[in-house]
Amino acid sequence: MCRALTYFGQQIPLDDLLYKPDNSLIKQAYDPLMMRYIQNLAGFGMALWDKNSFAPERPFLYRTPNLPFFDINLKRFSEKAHTDCLLAHVRGVGYSETELVLQQNAHPFLFPNHKLSLAHNGQLAMFNKMKFSLLPYIKHEYATNILGTTDSEWLYALLMSQLETPEDELDARKVTEAIFKTFDIIKKIRAEHKIAISSPANLFITNGEFLIVTRYVFDFGCYPVSYERAHLLYHSLWYTYGEKYGKYGDEYKMSGGDKKHSVIISSEPLTSDTTTWIEVPEYSLMIASKRDHNEININITDIFI
């Protein structure tokens, strides 16, 4: 299964998220704490926002089919770059001669001239059987922008199609409504095709102004005997918040736990010490958005779909 990370808050070095913590996202790619086995690694990607950069509303988008722990350019960039919003993803796929390891299949996805980006941890079972039934719900301009072969990119196109003006300014409420519509459509199409197999849909969504994540599974607990082991468990999702994330003493953690100026949401805690991390509840949607004085509002709601 994949590993993903989102960050939103005060500017910090990219290295402090991707490499330096003892369970950093790059470390999770080859030695995760919360996965029983590692799937075939199939690429890395990130969307990075920096308010001090040129055209700060546009993210730096980096996607590669290469393995991140062998990517010297990514490491060098991480040592120089800062970010106030990050969406990063390590892709994991099952061992199969039919899987395609391509740049087009690396997350996160971001259509040209749009601001909303998405990454996905999970897999929609029997997707090839159902995907063309999704086309009536996907706008033509998004269907023609699907370049890869993943269910995740189709899910992104479906989500974007539920937004009235996805190329304009969006707020978290409108995107949340679109997520619920997307899940409703997927549930309907799965029922039409009699698909009732456990299918995780941990989504990570941001436009640089807010974060939205879901911890959700369609038909959790339903699977044939031979079903892939990665989907027998509920995909993990954790978060931590405070004033600023960084190294204090000998360990990485959030400072100022009474404040909410920064938040990290990740498939796993970035440190082996998880005492300052909170597990995101199952069947829930979490929103992190800024309010006055750079304070971040964190809201968690149940998903009833």
Mean pLDDT score across all residues of the chain: 89
The pLDDT value recorded for residue 116 is: 95
Nearest 5°: CA angle at 240, between 234 and 243? 165
d(CA 126, CA 110): 25
Q: What is the pLDDT of residues 44-88, one digit of tens each?
A: 999 999 999 898 899 999 999 988 889 999 999 999 999 999 999
Share of the chain above pLDDT 90, in %: 68
What residues make up the domain containing 204?
A: 3-302
121-159 per-residue burial string, b: 16 or more CB within 10 A, e: under 16: bbbbbbbeebbeebeebbeeebeebbebbbbbbbbbbbb
Q: Which residue has the tokens 């309010």?
A: 291
Q: Residue 84: which of 53, 51, 115 has the closest Cα? A: 51
> Confidence class of residue 97 from pLDDT cuts 50, 70 and 90?
low
Nearest to 68 by CA among 80, 76, 60: 76
Rounded to whole angstroms, how far apart are CA atoms 2 and 90? 6
Q: How far is 174 from 131, CA to CA, in rounded Å?
A: 24
* Dist CA 70 CA 210 (whole Å): 31
Mean pLDDT, residues 117-141 = 95
Q: Are 7 and 264 in contact (CB under 8 A)?
A: yes
Q: Strand pairing partners for 5?
A: 88, 266
Tens digits of per-residue pLDDT, 148-172? Answer: 989 999 999 999 999 987 666 789 9
Question: Residue 254 is part of a domain; what is its CATH number?
Answer: 3.60.20.10
As a whole-number percent, the residues of the chain with pLDDT over 70 amount to 89
**Alpha helices in the chain, H assignment, sequence order:** 15-18, 25-30, 72-80, 127-130, 140-143, 151-161, 172-192
Give which of 124, 74, 51, 76 is closest to 290, Cα–Cα.
Answer: 51
Q: Kindly report the number of other CB atoms within 10 A of residue 293's CB atom.
A: 7
Banded pLDDT at 37 (limits 50, 70, 90): low
- pLDDT, one tens digit per residue, over 187-226 is 999 999 999 988 999 999 999 999 999 999 998 766 665 5
Residue 87's DSSP bridge partners are: 6, 47
Among all chains, which residue has been given the structure tokens 């989504």? 203
State pLDDT tens for residues 223-275. 665 555 555 566 899 999 999 999 998 889 998 878 899 999 999 999 988 99
pLDDT per residue as tens digits for the range 81-95: 999 999 999 987 665
Find the DSSP H helices in 146-254. Answer: 151-161, 172-192
Q: Which of 203, 207, 193 is nearest to 152 (CA)?
A: 203
d(CA 25, CA 269): 9
State yes or no: pLDDT of 1 exceeds 80.
no
User: Are 211 and 265 contacting, i.e. CB atoms less than 8 angstroms apart?
Assistant: yes
Q: 3 is written with which tokens?
A: 């590993």
Instruction: Specify the pLDDT at position 44.
Output: 94
- The mean per-residue pLDDT over the stretch 102-112 comes to 91
Q: How many domains does the chain have?
A: 1
HSE (side-chain half, CA atoms, 13 Å) at 263: 25
Give the integer Cα–Cα distance in Å for 183 and 103. 26
Give residue 287's pLDDT. Answer: 98
- Quick one: pLDDT at residue 32? 73
